[in-house]
Homo-oligomer: A and B are copies of this chain.
Amino acid sequence: MTNDKILLDHGSGGKISHSMFSELILPVFNNPELAKQDDGAILMLGEEKLAFSTDSYVVDPIFFPGGNIGDLAINGTINDIAMCGATPRFISVGLIIEEGLPLADFKTILETMAKAARKAGVKIVTGDTKVVPRGKADKIFINTSGIGVIAPGVNVSGSNARPGDKIIVSGTIADHGIAVLGTREGLKFDSDIKTDSAPLNKMVQSIIDSSCGIHVLRDPTRGGLGTTLNEIAIQSNVGINILESSLPIRGAVRGTCELLGFDPLYIANEGKLIAFVPEKDAQDVLEIIRQDEFGKDAVILGEVTNKDPGRVFLKTLIGGSRIVDMLTGEQLPRIC
């Protein structure tokens, strides 16, 4: 990092975020749990194997089609815990509120959070509220942290991808990012563009409860599918090939991306997962995901290879192949 100030790019979830983490944060806090760079830390506490994760939500605007910052914050941490192969149990909520936030908005957000927690079967057990003067924050920021339990024998990590694994995505990509962007910029959209924010813990539980093998689970949020696949390719030191023809994207989302010059591969999702599974189990896992209410549009997107470790390739519709790099700067700030 040559700049001497924090830039928006540092929060993008892409390359510059990663270099900040690996060059600045990790060396200072250095420990093996943090170094794994999964969505949450895996911890032993007595006889229990836990997943522990945290996320702050600064989305702008705080209300958008299909949801608000409240369910986003609950679902996001539930999903981070689930992606560790854990059953999410307990959530903490830290609120930073800008003076002047309408109480009606605050109540709506709280109620949305409570409803999201109930739907996912997790409990909000502890919290904290801070208020800062007007102009010192932007309406409301929410941190959620969560604890989940990992069953014996479950071992899911971004470093577990193996050549031959099939890669499943649980549904359409880029819905959340485009829904938030559209609201923020006041774009007139086709009405079916809305956030995909959803809890994926039941989907994950069904996969884990099956006898299928599961190597990697990850939710492609900030930085999008393209960045997440790159993270896994690097963590597991494998190559990844995906098919453009298999990418599930809603027509309206695709159209908006084309119009505005965004690549849907780098747009955030908040209710999708990617699963890396042994080839022999791929069809079974695909069926399990499709049975879930949030997995109806799941497809097999590609596979893991032993060529070009650390790289992701997209086989394009016209038969070519292009490198899918990690997002470099900030495509869409404050998307979550």
Contacts and interface: CB of A to CB of B under 8 A. Distances in A.
Interface stretch (A46-54, A158-166, A267-275, A319-327): A46-54
A107 B137 contact: no
Contact of A138 (B29, B40, B52, B132): B132
Most buried by B among A48, A106, A129, A135: A129
A111 to B, nearest CB: 6
A334 to B, nearest CB: 6
A45 B48 contact: yes
Contact of A55 (B43, B94, B110, B334): B94
A133 to B, nearest CB: 6
A1 B47 CA distance: 46
Contacts of A48: 45-48
Given A24-B107, A57-B130, A143-B145, 6 more contacts: A9-B131, A11-B97, A25-B129, A31-B124, A41-B125, A54-B94
B53 A111 contact: no
Report the 9 A-B pairs with minimum CB-CB distance, sorted nearest first. Answer: A11-B131, A145-B145, A54-B92, A41-B125, A143-B143, A33-B125, A41-B126, A56-B94, A136-B138
Nearest to A106: B6
A100 interface: yes
Most buried by B among A9, A58, A106: A58
A166 to B, nearest CB: 29
A261 interface: no
B143 A54 contact: yes
| Contact-residue bracket for chain A | 35 or more
Contact of A56 (B10, B31, B45, B128): B128
A104 interface: yes
A20 interface: yes
Contacts of A138: 132, 136-137
A260 interface: no
Nearest to A98: B6
A259 interface: no
Interface in A97-151: 97-104, 106-107, 110-111, 113-114, 117, 123-133, 135-138, 141, 143, 145, 147, 149
Given A110-B29, A131-B333, A145 B54 contact: yes
B90 A43 contact: yes
A8 interface: yes
A3 interface: yes
B58 A132 contact: yes
